[in-house]
Amino acid sequence: MEDTPSVPDDQHRPADVPPDLPLDVRRAGVLLHVTSLPSPYGTGDLGHAAYRFVDFLAAAGVTVWQVLPLVPTHAEDRSPYNGLSALAGNPELVSLDWLADRGLLRDDDLAQVASGEISRAEARTRAVRLWQSEVEAGERQEQREHFLSWVDEHDDWLGDYTDFVALRESLGGTSWHDWEPGLRDRDADALDKALAPLQDRLRVLQFEQYLFDTQWQELRDYAAERGVLVFGDLPIFVSHDSADVWVDRAQFDLDETGAPRTVTGVPPDYFAQDGQRWNNPHYDWDVMREDGFAWWRRRIARQRDLFDLVRIDHFRGLEASWHIPASAETAREGEWVASPGVEVLTALVAEAGEGHLVAEDLGVITPEVEALRLRFGLPGMKVLQFAFDGNPANPHLPHHHDHLGVVYTGTHDNDTSVGWLSEVDDRTRVRIRGHLVGPTDDMPWPLMRTAMASVSRLAVVPAQDLLGLGSAARMNVPGKATGNWSWQLREGALDDAIAARLRDVLERYDRVPGDPR
């Protein structure tokens, strides 16, 4: 019989968590990015499989679905942490089935995408053109009014994004910094001339964003009706080759041509002897301070439009970030530079509302970073894969968890738990087994049960762990330029038996809100 620790009564609503907020009760979550959903058209999208996944979560008693950033990605790396925009949605997530269900695509169109005869982008363009022709014929007037209202509501970023993407496509996908100076520097005459022949494409790009937002909100409403919250992710930095930097160059530490003076990364450590160079531009905090960090307020407001909870990736960068000279060959030549974390977080919490932000506080975390997180009452993260190094004071060990936290077996940057366990030495494996709940059961269920037994308010497991998958199912290897972000769930893999098994664990550890047991 497995070990079953009791759950103290005071965990139901500790004094440090206000009532009626996402983490005012114990919850369980599953981490699965939308692109990892099964689809006959390539990567996953916001179509039928997404709704089936929500149904699985509800059946299992899971009340949090965690996803990665939903932004449009660069074709070269497809990383959701290196988006073309911090505010736009990824048009590749637009469901073609949704369009077909509403008469905007034919079965032949879907078959052509599934066979590779046409791309998803071509299918979306066909749908938009059909919609336009029907509007011109006097049809779909209610949807037209909704679309125009949506465009007005998102005017603060939509036009800049569509201009950026249309220009970038017309110039062969090159970075805006390599455009001719008139376009690079956003000269009004140069922009008007370049955009004039791109009006059809601009309309398609605009409607794609409307489709993404409409589909996402419908899915989110469906999840909410079944008690499932959606947990999103906010990368602390943005790509240099993005609409955000092209439009708001003054907000970033750039030279007169728009090139970064310093770039982001982390210093050398056990995993990377030269450190890591991420190449995002740093912020010009003095400029951002002048308008009360309006750029950050707008960004977090958009995330709260999309998500119930938002994780701030690389939270420690709000206290200090590693500045690497743009001319440096490695990250070794960088230095820590203080960030105005209190001011930024004051703006973010005011805009997002208390109780809706989570800090990704992994890595080497200083007392100053911890103090910043606690000052604003943000839950931090614990990862069981980091816990078993033999140090009894390791903060990731289950006995060091606290209520104000989110515990994971592993994250999207880790190997799957089965893959990780296959690589640890025998001594570590014995140490791990000594900490697990029900250690004789098939892995990684004992590790998942240990996460669920934690006092941390939210416990999250990657979908790969529910299926006991090995390293081939890993989502991302940090520092690896290619081959990431491509894992997909097999249709039907998350079945009723897994849902029932998971629900039994969640009920045992009081992670099914409202369950009478």
Beta strands in 415-457 (DSSP E): none
Instruction: Tell me: pLDDT of 254 over 80.
Output: yes
Q: How far is CA 48 from CA 45, 210, 256, 503, in A?
A: 8, 19, 48, 23
pLDDT for 517 equals 52
Q: What percentage of the chain carries pLDDT values higher than 90?
A: 91
pLDDT for 516 equals 56
Mean pLDDT for the stretch of residues 112-119:
97
Provide φ and ψ at 359, rounded to 5°: -100, 125
Query: Could you tell me if 378 and 358 are in contact, meaning their C-beta atoms sit under 8 angstroms apart?
Result: yes
- Kindly list the catalytic residues: 313, 360, 413
SS3 assignment, position 330:
coil
Q: Would you place residue 13 in the very low, low, confident or very high pLDDT band (cuts 50, 70, 90)?
A: very low
Mean pLDDT for the stretch of residues 34-50:
97
**CATH fold of 1-66+381-517:** TIM Barrel (3.20.20)
Beta 405-408 vs 380-383: how paired, if at all?
A: parallel
Q: Would you place residue 480 in the very low, low, confident or very high pLDDT band (cuts 50, 70, 90)?
A: confident
Instruction: Tell me: pLDDT of 143 over 50.
Output: yes
pLDDT in tens, 180-218: 999 999 999 999 999 999 999 999 999 999 999 999 999
> DSSP per residue over 391-418, as a string?
-TT-TTSGGG--SSEEEES--TTSPPHH
Instruction: Tell me: pLDDT of 172 over 70.
Output: yes
pLDDT in tens, 421-442: 999 999 999 999 999 987 778 9
Instruction: Tell me: pLDDT of 10 over 70.
Output: no
The average confidence (pLDDT) of the chain is: 94
488 Cβ contact list (under 8 Å, min separation 6):
35, 36, 37, 38, 39, 43, 44
Provide φ and ψ at 322, rounded to 5°: -85, 115
Positions of CATH 3.20.20.80 in the chain = 1-66+381-517
Query: Could you tell me if 282 and 314 are in contact, meaning their C-beta atoms sit under 8 angstroms apart?
Result: no
Q: How far apart are CA 33 and CA 80, in angstroms?
A: 10
Radius of gyration of the chain (CA): 23
SS3 assignment, position 283:
strand
| Least confident stretch, 7-11, 16-20, 102-106, 367-371 | 7-11
Q: For 18, which DSSP code?
A: -
By CB neighbour count within 10 A (0-12 exposed, 13-18 middle, 19+ buried), where does 365 fall? Answer: middle
Tokens of 369: 């970073």
Instruction: Tell me: pLDDT of 15 over 50.
Output: no
Whether cis (ω within 30° of 0) applies to the bond prior to 444 is yes
pLDDT for 364 equals 84
Tell me the one-letter amino acid at 313. D
pLDDT for 1 equals 35
Q: What percentage of the chain carries pLDDT values higher than 70?
A: 96
Mean pLDDT for the stretch of residues 163-185:
98
Instruction: Tell me: pLDDT of 512 over 60.
Output: yes
Mean pLDDT for the stretch of residues 246-272:
93
Q: Would you place residue 8 in the very low, low, confident or very high pLDDT band (cuts 50, 70, 90)?
A: very low
356 Cβ contact list (under 8 Å, min separation 6):
21, 22, 304, 308, 309, 310
115 Cβ contact list (under 8 Å, min separation 6):
none
Q: Which of the two residues, 480 and 320, has the higher pLDDT score?
A: 320
